[in-house]
Structure 1
Amino acid sequence: MRVPVVQHRSRRRRALGRRALWTGGELLVTAGVVLLLLVVHELWWTNREARQGAERQVQALERQWATPGTAQGGPPSSNSSPAGGSSPHRSTSADGSTSADGSTTVTGSADSATTPHRSQAYAILTIPRLHLRVPIAEGVSKQNVLNKGYVGHYPGTQQPGQAGNFALAGHRNTHGEPFRYLPRLRLKDTVQVETSAATYTYTVDKILPQTSASDSGVIRPIPRSIVKPAYGYSRPGYYITLTTCTPEFTSRYRMAVWGTLTSTHPR
């Protein structure tokens, strides 16, 4: 009976094969752990960090506005409106109607023509339906504004309360994701913008569920989609535009929520 002889060369090949498989397995496990950590960082840590920073900024603005004689958190305030002066205790309406308390109302109330410094947080956005209260900063820089969990104001569009379009952008996912639930907004929902001068209330009256990322018409002074012209306005007014990416976890398309200024309450 012949006894099989195992050559040293065959043993070495098998040992090398096992070592290669083991090394490959370790590399795959390491890659999987690194990928998991990246996902955790993007979906959890960036949200946690940005939300905490945004909350601190909101509190800082509130303290700043509540302290008499300190520099304001936004552009210099103007207590006059396009249609005439308004008392600090009066309620103003965009349609020029009379408020329930009998105070005189005016058509619109511009905060100021002065533009805040780039990346400066100068206002607070509140959306009751979304339980959202977040700072508004000048510009839409990812690093200096959006990734901090703030909502960014499109440069070149109007400021709160001014005639035209006050246009904002915010992340849908990661970095605080303030606009994650923007699709939950419905017609007649309210959106409030607080500044050092006043609180402006806009009422949602139009929603564009999806359009091209390059649809610049949605943030024009008279907002109207150039991709889907059936969506938008046809005459001048006092508008707000909220934009974000859609669908979730992509940046292929944009959605827009539009509202019209319905009341102004000076501080």
Structure 2
Amino acid sequence: MTALRPERESGADAYGGAGGQGTSYGGQPHGAPGAYGDGWYDTTAPGPHGGSSDTTAYLPPVDEETVALRIPEPPERTAREEPAPAAPGGRAARRKAAKKRQGRRGGSHKAAEAPRDSRGPDGGSEGASRAPLSRVEARRRARASKASPAVLASRAIGEVFITCGVLMLLFVTYQLWWTNVRAHAQAGKEVSDLQSDWANGAGKPGAFEPGQGFALLHIPKLDVVVPIAEGISSKKVLDRGMVGHYAEGALKTAMPDAKAGNFGLAGHRNTHGEPFRYINRLEPGDPIVVETQDQYFVYKMASVLPVTPPSNVSVLEPVPKGSGFTGPGRYITLTTCTPEFTSKYRLIVWGRMVEERPRSKGKPDALVS
């Protein structure tokens, strides 16, 4: 008689054997469907004493995938790597084992995170992994990368200021340096030409053309030797490093060889050779010498007028006002601009002639000493 019984009640093992002994499956292959449903089988086998043993056992259904050999599926990778078991031997041994594991893994921890240097401007990593920008975001960034009108205007104004500053610097350099270099060269050539003409007897005393050099001015205390030309034209005389003789219109003054009168001269105090830059340092008694083709005229500095308006032409009169001279005589007047680097006022220096010496007698003591 057969009955349906669970495995635990019948005492059968996993394969239907009673008491732990193996049995046959009643002619049914292992795992084949039995008469009592999937997993249940009627097993009739001889007992240990020649009798029969009627048992009904439960066998698990056949897993078709286990019938043939197959490569097992790799285990799923977890988000975090399982920590390795601690190495025995203390903290030093565990650190050494951890370094070995990192070397075998090939720096997997470093590859897990993209370095900061490789991240794009939007905070993501560069390369193919960066998500493409949307149209709105791309347009926003394009607008942000373009300079605003205010920025463009400020840049333009800054460039204008820089250009003006460079031009002003070049102009100052030209005025304070290059004009002196050029004027000294021109004045030096004029001195050489005059001395050569005098030596050859080519010079002609008397009236001179505007801009024509006819004498040399010596101021020994200031180490000044500069040619004197006819007229006070800036372009023809003063800007060429020479001093000019007042010889035109109402400003006409006497020549040095006149028996009485005022020999008036003008010169730059700054730039263009600046021959009169330091005439404010002259003191009463300092010599001022005018050299011509035939004569030396020696003057002694007498007085100075530190500041006067440019319109004060009375300083050029035969007896100049403010000079301290009380009567006719043979005087010299030096005029220049003041303060330095401006032309707002005029500085006046006067001298009185003390010696007239022919060139044939040699240089006067003022030039020898």
- What does residue range 1-267 of structure 1 map to in structure 2 within 5 Å? 11=144, 14-67=147-200, 70-72=201-203, 75-76=204-205, 114-155=206-247, 156-162=252-258, 163-225=260-322, 231-267=323-359
CA distance in structure 1 between the aligned counterparts of 2:160 and 2:312, rounded to whole angstroms: 44
- 2: distance between equivalents of 1:121 and 1:264? 20
Q: Secondary structure at the match of 1:50?
A: helix
- Report deviation, 1:12: 8.0
Moved more, 203-212 or 41-50: 203-212
Could you tell me how far apart the structure 1 residues matched to 2:146 and 2:324 are?
71
1:32 Cα deviation from its structure 2 partner: 0.8
1:87 alignment counterpart: none
In the TM superposition, residue 149 of structure 1 has moved relative to its aligned partner by 0.6
C-alpha distance in structure 2 between counterparts of 1:184 and 1:170, whole Å: 16
Whether contact under 8 Å (1:224, 1:234) holds in the other structure is: no
CA distance in 2, matches of 1:55, 1:211: 31
Return the offset for 1:252: 1.2
Asked if the contact 1:169–1:244 (Cα under 8 Å) also holds between the matched residues in 2, the reply is yes
Quick one: which amino acid aligns to residue 187 of structure 2? A
* Residues 218 and 232 in structure 1, CA contact (< 8 A), matched pair in contact too: no
CA shift, 1:29, in A, is: 1.2
2:93 is matched with: none
In the TM superposition, residue 137 of structure 1 has moved relative to its aligned partner by 0.3
Shift of 1:249: 1.1
Q: Quote the Cα distance in structure 1 between the aligned partners of 2:191 and 2:332.
A: 20
Alpha-carbon shift at residue 18 of structure 1 (Å) = 2.8
**Secondary structure at 2:217 match in 1:** strand
Greater relative CO, 1 or 2 (CA 8 Å, sep 6+): 1
Identify unmatched segments of 5+ residues in structure 1: 77-113, 226-230
- Structure index of larger Rg: 2
CA shift, 1:191, in A, is 0.4
1:195 partner amino acid? T
Instruction: Number of aligned residue pairs: give it.
Output: 219
Partners in 2 of 1:189 and 1:244 — Cα distance? 18
Q: Please list the CA deviations of residues 226-255 of structure 1 after superposition, one character each: whole Å capped at 9, or x if unmatched.
A: xxxxx4322000100001011111111111
Deviations 1:128-174 (A, max 9, x none): 01100000000001111100010000012011132110000000111
Tell me which residue corresponds to 1:101.
Answer: none
* Cα distance, 1:8 vs structure 2: 8.0
Structure 1 counterpart of 2:209, one-letter code: H
Distance 2:300 2:316 in 1: 17
Partner deviation per Cα, 1:47-99 (whole Å, 9 max, x = no partner): 110011101111111111112xx321xx52xxxxxxxxxxxxxxxxxxxxxxx
Shift of residue 19, structure 1, vs aligned partner: 2.6
Q: How far, CA to CA, are the matches of 2:257 and 2:229 in structure 1?
A: 16
* DSSP-derived class of the 1:55 partner: helix
Deviations 1:82-124 (A, max 9, x none): xxxxxxxxxxxxxxxxxxxxxxxxxxxxxxxx32111111100
Three-state SS of the structure 1 residue aligned to 2:191 is helix
Q: 2: CA distance between counterparts of 1:223 and 1:245?
A: 18
RMSD value, Cα: 2.1
Shift in Å, 1:26? 1.8
Cα offsets for 1:9-66 (capped at 9, x unmatched) = 9648744333322222222111111110000000000011001110111111111111
